[in-house]
Structure 1
């Protein structure tokens, strides 16, 4: 990166990101995903669900002890996915396997069961698509009747997004699948064997992120180019908003989060995070854009807002 480009990027970057105190959330609860649909909704372990209109003040609630790992908004509803504990062979799951669960956060319908743990969910073309372990893909047109479709892989699928008229799912060992309807899936080469944990679409580009600081870029989801991230920590999620991309991640030991920003999805800069010097920000797992700014969430109930 040239010094001129670097200076322009840094000058445009927000001064910092700030940790938002969230009273009422248990410190051991990890927040795994966040979405915006007129309000922010974040979900996490032990059934944690939090909502906020602007990202500064949050309401906490939980009606389950199951772990949530993904959330999406579409058709006027918020749906969360995760696991339902160790399955006993019911609902299509094998004994000793963590079964999956899809939950309507309004409580109006469901929950619906899946044979394996689900990691991510998205909405596009008037349908929801959820992905998970053992190559599991579940599809629903209205979010209330679900069907399992053949993904063609047994690799875990950790992330899914919709854009450019197609769904793209990413997962273990660099797995990338694309689909025009969420039902028929085609494998694509990603050029990496790193696990891919998250994907987003915006500004005419798919951005996929994963282990060892991996960032991949594609315009249509089938041909990918790896971009230099400047870090080797796992990257878990990406989001687009107002002409820029944000990627979040972090390491387990030490547990420390990272936020990367870009205005072209090719050149990335690490963003400063203000936390009053008490401790490093915990590893971050989800990020979304709404109400004029990005929000990131992570371990220990961490919520970080773009200033």
Structure 2
């Protein structure tokens, strides 16, 4: 009985000491604060994918923060989760970030990465013990995944541009050689240029130099039937089944083509290459179904009598080649019996240096900045390009055409008719562009 009375008195004392000023506080939870990624103020959301390579990151705190504690020590961007003060993966590292900008009420904080992030990479935003104005620590971890590079453009002085969407571009460089063209096939980008350079990349950002076994200038690459084929000066033909080990498959007779090969396309089991003879008075047109056999090439006839054929494409079961003086010729999928397009009316006399095919439309770009288009390769019409700058290459991807040229010029179009100038990110000349399609 005495024990029971003692316990009862202790309980009464506890209740009395928990009350003050006539009010009992028997349930007084500890104060809390939280943080989240805020996509309503121009930022990204937690778990978001296909994020830009220079993302805007906005942190939304539930209560005002002490801004002096929201800094690069408490806010980190990394390739792994921060546990305590250590990254869970020893191979990961913190990414340098820009100055963190606070809102007027110190609940919203905005920053980005100092440099473009890598594509197709998962990143973590770690908040570690940032303090509220009352000294309460706030912690949180969030993640996002960057998108994959869809477009790559190349040009003078090793210039390489890359983009997720064809609208916002990032600039880098690899070496100092002029890069003439770039293509995408078998999960890799392949770029070629002067002095026999061949560069490959699986993400469009990090590049590797490959041994070409040639010192000739290389102009274009095509892929088909499990084979990459590069063409270049003096009738150079290089072949590879993986993009890294290359074989010189040029005809033994260096005068076989009697000139330089500027473009190549693949379709229906056939490769077609075009170019110009050595004295620059006649075009070169050649076909083969087996470019690894140097003796398999067949010289064709250019009915336009152009002094140069610069580029060729395959689409709509036709090969179409373009060149000097507005020359346009086409052939069926068997690549024989070439015909000059609507030879009675030329829509342009400018040199046509690039052509592509997509969505039932052939689109060619000219050295006077002009764009022409056709649905059948025979009847062509002028489009409104919005530029007079020489254009050298054109591609299609992400539901748009993009053409590139001198001084970093880029223009894009959804329908091939109306074109918009893309804000340049370089003043280098751009000679080639490709997409993942």
TM-score of the superposition, structure 2-length normalised? 0.54
Which residue is equivalent to 1:31?
Answer: none
Mapped pair 1:118 → 2:232: no
Mapped pair 1:131 → 2:131: no
Which residue is equivalent to 2:390?
Answer: 283
How far apart are the structure 2 equivalents of 1:292 and 1:179?
Answer: 32
Which residue is equivalent to 2:337?
Answer: 223
When Rg is computed on C-alpha atoms for both structures, the one with the higher figure is 2
Runs of 4+ in 1 over 4 A off after TM superposition: none
Instruction: Give 1:107 shift.
Output: 2.4
How far apart are the structure 1 equivalents of 2:212 and 2:165?
Answer: 30
How far apart are the structure 2 equivalents of 1:268 and 1:38?
Answer: 32
SS state at 1:266 partner: coil
- Aligned ranges for residues 42-121 of structure 1 at < 5 Å? 42-83=153-194, 99-105=195-201, 106-108=206-208, 110-121=210-221
Mapped pair 1:154 → 2:258: yes
Which residue is equivalent to 1:249?
Answer: 366
Which residue is equivalent to 2:289?
Answer: 180
CA contact (8 A) 2:199 2:208 kept: no
CA contact (8 A) 1:194 1:214 kept: no
How far apart are the structure 2 equivalents of 1:194 and 1:224?
Answer: 16
Mapped pair 1:304 → 2:411: yes
CA contact (8 A) 1:104 1:111 kept: no
How far apart are the structure 2 equivalents of 1:206 and 1:195?
Answer: 17
How far apart are the structure 2 equivalents of 1:112 and 1:137?
Answer: 11
Q: 1:104 to 1:249 in 2, by over 3 A?
A: same
Out of 400, 414, 433, the residue aligned to residue 293 of structure 1 is 400
TM-score of the superposition, structure 1-length normalised? 0.76
How far apart are the structure 2 equivalents of 1:237 and 1:148?
Answer: 26
Q: Give the length in aligned residue pairs.
A: 246
Out of 319, 324, 347, the residue aligned to residue 206 of structure 1 is 319
Instruction: Give 1:38 shift.
Output: 6.7
- Identify unmatched segments of 5+ residues in structure 2: 1-147, 277-281, 415-437
Higher RCO by CA contacts (8 Å cutoff, separation 6 or greater): 1
Which residue is equivalent to 2:112?
Answer: none
Deviations 1:3-62 (A, max 9, x none): xxxxxxxxxxxxxxxxxxxxxxxxxxxxxxxxxx97111111111111112211111110
Out of 264, 271, 282, the residue aligned to residue 167 of structure 1 is 271
Which residue is equivalent to 1:253?
Answer: none
How far apart are the structure 1 equivalents of 2:174 and 2:215?
Answer: 22
Instruction: Give 1:248 shift.
Output: 0.3
SS state at 2:210 partner: coil
Which residue is equivalent to 1:270?
Answer: 382
